[in-house]
Amino acid sequence: MFRFAHPEYLYALALVPVAILLFIAMTFAKRRAIKKFSEPALYKKLTAGVSISKPVFKLILFLLGYSLIAAGLANPQIGTKLEEVKREGVDIIIALDVSNSMKAEDIRPNRLERSKQAISRLIDQLENDRIGIIVFAGTAYVQLPITTDFAAAKLFLTSIDSDIIPTQGTAIGSAINLALESFVGKDNKHKALVIITDGENHEDDAIDAAHKANEEGVIIHTIGMGTPEGGPIPVYKNGIQIDFMKDHDGTVVVTKLDQLTLEKIAAEGKGRFVRASNSDDGLSTILGEITKMDKKSFGTKMFTEYEDRFQYFIGAGLLFLLIEFLVSNRKNKWMEKLDLFGVKKTKN
């Protein structure tokens, strides 16, 4: 198991592409200034001993050293002792609607992105619980099986988009049935399903599915992602919005929150319905309900001891910086004599 003890230091790596862009910009600015204020022949004579490639080499050395030191400050660690640890928590499955209607921007930045942000914050607040993720549109798929690996959950979350399911629609009932199959264990407690959708169910009887799931001990909460007034669905091409989705008559489609359906699903699932807004995504309310649930005990294998590896990264980083400092910008006479490429010099 590999992890960073202080991952916030990795944000320093964002300066690497900035440094590369600045170097390129300064190089072009320097060339323009040379052309403007000096004669090419004279400049070539005056800089005969200056290497063209070494500044690039020095930049690479510097960035390698800088990156390794930044990684070292984040303190890479390797797990050395794997033990089975007893935990008490709740099994939570998030069922996320990824249909095209979730691209509507009545909830900013859009319904789907706001849902993903909310789920990410929820994961950050979990401790001893287990989480799974289901995505659904016209059909439902398990994106992440039940796990205690919250880092993996956040990683899988980033890959979710509206194009991962080719079959369009909103099959909430299928998502509920799949969640019922995905929960671990045969006990009829400690299971919560959180459905995040705009509620426009077109495929199946979600209310009946919620009733059957609750009979199996699953508490179902729903979060309505959208507004009753609704909004159009943007159509993008190569990341640029080109139009809004239209029906067969050429009329712009307006997708609205179906609050009544979501309230009925939550009622059948003995859970709560919360309508999200631009100021409140509703998950904090649902998490409050989940924390009130009885906890179950389960064993999970975890690394309980880690060894630091920061010294190797910082040592290597300092070595690269030292080499960068010792390398001059002048040409290497020995390398010139070596003539690796067989270029014959002609006398003027």
Structural domain span for residue 42: 2-75+309-338
106 and 229 share one domain: yes
Same domain, yes or no: 329 and 190: no
What is the maximum alpha-carbon separation in the chain?
A: 95
Interatomic CA distance for residues 213 and 220, integer angstroms: 8
Predicted TM-score (pTM) of the model is: 0.67
Q: Does 344 reside within a domain?
A: no
pLDDT of residue 254: 94
The residue to which tokens 């619980």 are assigned: 129
Same domain, 18 and 131: no
Note the Cα 222 to chain centre separation in Å.
Answer: 23
Low-confidence ranges of the chain (pLDDT < 70): 37-50, 81-85, 188, 201-204, 297-304, 330-348
User: What pLDDT, on a 0 to 100 scale, did the predictor assign at position 340?
Assistant: 41
pLDDT in tens, 203-221: 668 999 999 999 999 999 9
Q: Does residue 93 lie in a domain region? A: yes
- Which pLDDT belongs to residue 78? 85
Supply the pLDDT for residue 43.
62
Residue 184 in any domain: the answer is: yes
Calculate Rg over the CA atoms of the chain.
Answer: 29
Gap between the Cα atoms of 16 and 275, Å rounded: 42
2-4 β-sheet, strand order: 2-4, 76-89, 296-308
Enumerate residues 6+ apart whose C-beta is below 8 A from 314: 68, 69, 72, 73
Judge if 289 and 212 occupy the same domain.
Answer: yes
Say whether both 250 and 332 belong to one domain: no
Give the chain's domain count.
2
Task: Encode pLDDT of 300-320 as tens digits.
Answer: 666 567 788 999 999 999 999
